[in-house]
Amino acid sequence: MGLFDRLATWLGLKKKSTSVLCVGLDNSGKTTIINRLKPEKAQATDIVPTIGFTVEKFDSQNLAFTVFDMSGQGRYRNLWEHYYKDAQAIIFVIDSSDRFRVVVAKDEFDLLLNHPQVKDRKMPILFFANKMDCKDALSAVKCSQLMALDQVRDKPWHICASNALTGEGLDEGVAWLSDQICSFVK
């Protein structure tokens, strides 16, 4: 970073940058969440299924987020690991209305946790228990139990119930993530 960039950051004129990976099973609502977090003018009106991944940007507090929205379809999930190294944090989206696939989400989360690029890092993980508006949706507490989040002791994590269609729960989650990231991003 050049002197002027450093000065601008120090004066609060320039936001600090952070890279975050957004993962979770297909159809959990990742793209809808990320779209909702973008400035209103930049939001897409039609959400199309993600092929591979897309890169999106939004600001929150004094951070400029670059988010890699990874496809959750089975054939693309092996792409996730290629982006762990450069990610400073992870957003993991759970479809709380699809109780049968929470088990699959847990398997994918276990693979993520045990990956060499994640295992020994203190990277914060934000979970969205999304689709809380759906009938019979699991609560955030139930999702965290099924995902065995109490076993995650070496990384800061937080779970928020969310409704990506209305935006409910999203700001709370991103505020938590921003605080975590600000504590280590220089």
Catalog residues that contact ligand G3D under the rule CB under 6 A.
Answer: 24, 26-32, 47, 49-50, 72, 93, 130-131, 133-134, 163-165
In the complex, the smallest distance separating the C-beta of residue 95 from ligand G3D, rounded to whole angstroms, is 8
Closest residue to ligand G3D in the complex (CB)? 29
Alpha-carbon distances of 146 from 18, 77, 107, 138, 149, rounded to whole Å: 30, 21, 11, 10, 8
Task: Give dist(CA 109, CA 112) in Å, integer.
Answer: 5
Cβ closest to ligand G3D, residue 34 vs residue 89: 34
Cβ closest to ligand G3D, residue 145 vs residue 166: 166
Cβ closest to ligand G3D, residue 10 vs residue 42: 42
Angle made by CA atoms 99, 161, 52, in degrees to the nearest 5: 70
Task: Give dist(CA 113, CA 107) in Å, integer.
Answer: 10
In the complex, the smallest distance separating the C-beta of residue 19 from ligand G3D, rounded to whole angstroms, is 18
Cβ closest to ligand G3D, residue 104 vs residue 182: 104
Angle made by CA atoms 144, 69, 81, in degrees to the nearest 5: 75
